[in-house]
Amino acid sequence: MGRSALIESLRAKAAQDAEAARDAARREAEKHCAGLATALEARREELAQAAEAIARGDAAQSLAAARHEARALRMRAVVDLATRLRELAATELAALGRGGGEALFAALADELPERAWQRIRVNPSQAKTARDRFPDAAIEPDESVSGGLEATAEEGRLHVDNTLEARLEAAWPDLAPGLIAEALAERESDGIAA
């Protein structure tokens, strides 16, 4: 298999894995959103009752406080949703790492600049592949690495983290807003008020 075919195959597999991860995250987010919507609705009911009770007094001030609290509650719900989506994305990394195997490791290792790498940190399942690829480096198996590798050279002055975890961390600021918006839009289209 040529390099372009390998890259295309990796891209196709990554797209499939990403779609599966999005579907799993979407299902989990919908479930989580339904629970948040129930809690939010109960809280809104409490706030509505409190607003009615205070209406005889300073209605405008009470309503502003209720709206402020509702906005704060919605923001907490969005933060909780973002946290849950991030956790779900992180759990999908192990499957992505297993699915990519040696081809994924090779593709990520190929991205490293040519150096005399001294230390390579990898998932234990990739330790042999890493030893074969970097025979002069100390290979450090680490369960916390789902896929890819972390390389160090020049007595620690050069450090490259090309693990799936690092890639998710770098991509998360771009991914999160769209995932959250999509989850909230689906929730609202299902008739669940935010």
Q: Which helix H or strand E contains 75, and what residues bound it?
A: helix 59-110
Q: What percent of the chain has pLDDT over 90?
A: 31
pLDDT class for 108, splitting at 50, 70, 90? very high
Q: What is the pLDDT of residue 154?
A: 92
Q: What is the pLDDT of residue 17?
A: 65
Q: Which residue has the higher pLDDT, 63 or 10?
A: 63
Is residue 9, in this structure, part of any structural domain at all? yes
Is residue 174, in this structure, part of any structural domain at all? yes
Is residue 134, in this structure, part of any structural domain at all? yes
pLDDT, tens only, 19-60: 776 777 777 777 777 777 787 788 888 878 777 776 666 766
Measured between alpha carbons, how far is 88 from 147 in angstroms, rounded to an integer?
16
- 192 has a pLDDT exceeding 60: no
73: containing domain: 3-189
Give the residue among 148, 141, 136 at the shortest CA–CA distance from 106. Answer: 148
What is the domain count for the chain?
Answer: 1
Is residue 103, in this structure, part of any structural domain at all? yes
pLDDT, tens only, 137-169: 999 999 999 999 999 999 989 999 999 999 989
pTM: 0.59
pLDDT class for 191, splitting at 50, 70, 90? low
Secondary structure class of 47 (helix, strand, coil): helix
Is residue 185, in this structure, part of any structural domain at all? yes
- 177 has a pLDDT exceeding 80: yes
Is residue 194, in this structure, part of any structural domain at all? no
- 128 has a pLDDT exceeding 90: yes
Size of the chain in residues: 194
